[in-house]
């Protein structure tokens, strides 16, 4: 009996007041969500839970009363809608997402993109494991089979006996749009490179600075990867001989991630590649698991830092822009690791150089993502402020030393006036 579903059969599987879980990024099932929107009049009080939605949709904009979007990480498709108070945003640390969903939702159905079924009856989630792989065999799944989705290894395979059914929709995957690496990015990256040793295991976040770091690592050897998002440059580092994972303490020889997002070059690299392991975020981002990698190096970004060392990484000028993601997961994980090192990066200024990103106080209504106790190193183009284990007064001095020179005198005056310095 075929498990391929018609649109009406998909709708018939959705109960009243259902909580539907949709994965991050390219796990987002275009055709299945189209079906839900097209048949919205037949649905009742359905919530769709997702991090980082890729596409603008009527239900996200609040135009379909039967469907409501619940976000766990804002994107270009959801940012404006949230600011208009038309949708919910749930705070979270990425590694806790499976537990949070279990606690706060009915887990009625998971809808996800999958690679085509193999001769053994297995589909894979391809670029994904994230928070949905945790529930294979435990929660009903409907798949959207896409021949462009790579086949990958790890804990993201699902057998045809474990799904309610599937639809087919074949479309190229979305690709990350990253700007060119600037001189500023290279200056920031160059400060970090000196701290990365042969044999270290890396977590590399999204953005131009992490890409700059990757571009400068080709002469390193025996590097490992344990990262939430697998970025484009990893393929180049494997080809250059920099990455082999032989000195990792967990999953030796394997490139570990919970989702992959980049260009087609990256998707081709992971397709059928046994060296790549896609594992649930509850494993990859758990600080206790991260800490098992004794020589883990974490590289992430923020938007502003105060003189305590608090990082506002999910708001811009006091307005929500994204969410916490896995920054705190890795900030805490490297703290527990034997030789762990964490770097949070940013240019020293914003708004064309008119505003310092290092401030006495964060902008009003800004949200602290990574707290002062979890921050290890802050990096700008002027160097590294090493904050772990030093006093508040010393923190302020070190942070001021990597601020843009034109703001240092003012920051020093404000620090003294407000009791940071004698």
User: Nearest-5° angle of CA 20, CA 105, CA 174?
Assistant: 40
- CA 95/CA 280 separation, integer angstroms: 9
Quote the DSSP letter at residue 374.
T
- CA 327/CA 347 separation, integer angstroms: 18
Sign (positive/negative) of CA torsion 19, 23, 29, 34? positive
Nearest to 303 by CA among 370, 248, 236, 256: 370
Per-position DSSP letters for 257-313, written without gaps between them: EEEE-S-HHHHHHHTT-TTEEE--HHHHT-HHHHTTSTTEEEEEE-SEEETT--EE-
- CA 289/CA 189 separation, integer angstroms: 26
Tell me which of 144, 228, 277, 381 is the catalytic residue: 228
Q: Which residues pair with 124 in a beta bridge?
A: 157
DSSP, collapsed to helix, strand or coil, labels residue 225 as: strand
Task: Mark whether 228 is an active-site residue.
Answer: yes
- CA 181/CA 232 separation, integer angstroms: 13
Quote the DSSP letter at residue 362.
P
Nearest to 377 by CA among 348, 408, 345: 345
Q: Which residues pair with 250 in a beta bridge?
A: none
Say how many CA atoms lie within 13 Å of 116 toward its Cβ.
Answer: 8
Nearest to 302 by CA among 372, 405, 352: 372
Nearest to 222 by CA among 240, 241, 196: 241
Write out the catalytic residue numbers.
228
């Amino acid at each position: 009996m075929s498990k391929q579903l018609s649109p009406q059969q998909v709708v018939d599987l959705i109960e009243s007041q259902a909580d539907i879980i949709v994965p991050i990024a390219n796990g987002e099932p275009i055709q299945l969500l189209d079906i839900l929107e097209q048949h919205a009049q037949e649905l009742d009080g359905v919530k769709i839970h997702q991090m980082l939605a890729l596409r603008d949709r009527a239900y996200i904009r609040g135009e379909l009363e039967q469907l409501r979007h619940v976000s766990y990480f804002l994107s270009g498709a959801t940012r404006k809608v949230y600011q208009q108070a038309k949708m919910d945003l749930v705070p979270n640390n990425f590694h806790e997402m499976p537990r949070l969903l279990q606690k706060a939702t009915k887990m009625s159905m998971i809808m996800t993109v999958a690679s085509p079924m193999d001769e053994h009856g297995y589909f894979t989630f391809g670029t994904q494991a994230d928070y949905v792989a945790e529930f294979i065999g435990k929660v009903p799944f409907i798949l959207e089979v896409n021949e462009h989705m790579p086949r990958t290894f790890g804990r993201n395979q699902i057998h045809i006996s474990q799904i309610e059914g599937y639809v087919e929709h074949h479309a190229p995957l979305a690709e990350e749009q990253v700007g060119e690496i600037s001189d500023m990015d290279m200056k920031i990256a160059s400060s970090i490179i000196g701290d990365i040793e042969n044999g270290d295991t890396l977590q590399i976040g999204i953005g131009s600075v992490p890409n700059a770091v990757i571009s400068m690592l080709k002469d390193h050897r025996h590097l490992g990867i344990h990262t939430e998002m697998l970025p484009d440059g990893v393929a180049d580092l494997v080809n250059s001989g920099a990455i082999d994972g032989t000195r990792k303490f967990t999953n030796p020889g394997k490139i570990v991630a919970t989702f992959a997002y980049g260009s087609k070059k990256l998707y081709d690299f992971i397709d059928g590649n046994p060296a790549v392991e896609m594992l649930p975020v509850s494993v990859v981002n758990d600080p206790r698991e991260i800490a098992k990698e004794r020589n883990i190096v974490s590289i992430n970004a923020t938007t502003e830092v105060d003189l305590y060392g608090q990082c506002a990484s999910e708001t811009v000028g006091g307005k929500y822009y994204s969410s916490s993601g896995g920054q705190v997961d890795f900030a805490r994980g490297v703290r527990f690791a034997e030789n762990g090192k964490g770097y949070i990066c940013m240019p020293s200024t914003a708004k064309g150089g008119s505003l310092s990103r290092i401030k006495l106080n964060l902008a009003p209504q800004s949200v602290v993502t990574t707290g002062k106790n979890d921050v290890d190193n802050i990096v700008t183009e002027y160097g590294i402020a090493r904050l772990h284990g030093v006093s508040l007064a010393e923190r302020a001095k070190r942070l001021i030393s990597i601020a843009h020179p034109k703001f240092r005198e003012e920051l020093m005056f404000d620090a003294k006036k407000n009791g940071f310095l004698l």
